[in-house]
Amino acid sequence: MLDLYVDGDACPVKEEVLRVADRHGLQVYFVSNRWSRRANAPNVRQVVVPESFDAADDWIAEHIGPGDIAITADIPLAARCLKQEALVLGPSGKPFTEHGIGMALAMRDLNTHLRETGEIKGYVPGYTKQDRSRFLGELERMIQSLLPRG
């Protein structure tokens, strides 16, 4: 059974995930350290974890499996989900893959170091309509690739 696992604390695509999950009849797990009213539907399970470092990541990594999809911008969590043979999609619509995860982890570590030493400043680009559209298209493609044919 294909399930969707959402790293929910700062996820900008919750509504999109719900729409797509409803259309396909999929179970969604919103995992965060606080309760959210918007995730109140029969196919949604809200998992509230303690406010400790990586608690949501740990829960997702322990429960996700082959044929599931994780929605996260967290690169280390993406790597853990890929090791569990799940598909992983970032909120901007960029899939994480076995082929690219090593480079993504290395760039994350390099950028962290450069920010800590003051070489660069942190910058998070705004979330755009194009990101939302790309996310919806890629999520649909991933789901279709996992659904049985026939």
**Per-residue pLDDT reduced to its tens digit, 84-136:** 999 999 999 999 987 777 677 676 666 666 667 777 776 667 789 999 999 99
**CA–CA dist 111, 120 (Å, integer):** 8
3-146 CATH choice from 3.30.70, 1.20.120, 3.40.50, 3.30.450: 3.40.50
Ordered by start, the domain boundaries in the chain are: 3-146
Residues 31, 56 contacting (CB under 8 angstroms):
yes
Between these two residues, 73 and 115, which has the higher pLDDT value?
A: 73
Q: How confident is the model at residue 150 (pLDDT cuts 50, 70, 90)?
A: low
The residue that leads in pLDDT, 104 or 30, is 30
Return the pLDDT at 101.
72
This prediction's pTM: 0.85
Helix (H, G, I), strand (E, B) or coil at 72: coil
Give residue 37's pLDDT: 67
- Cα 101 to Cα 21: distance, rounded to the nearest angstrom: 26
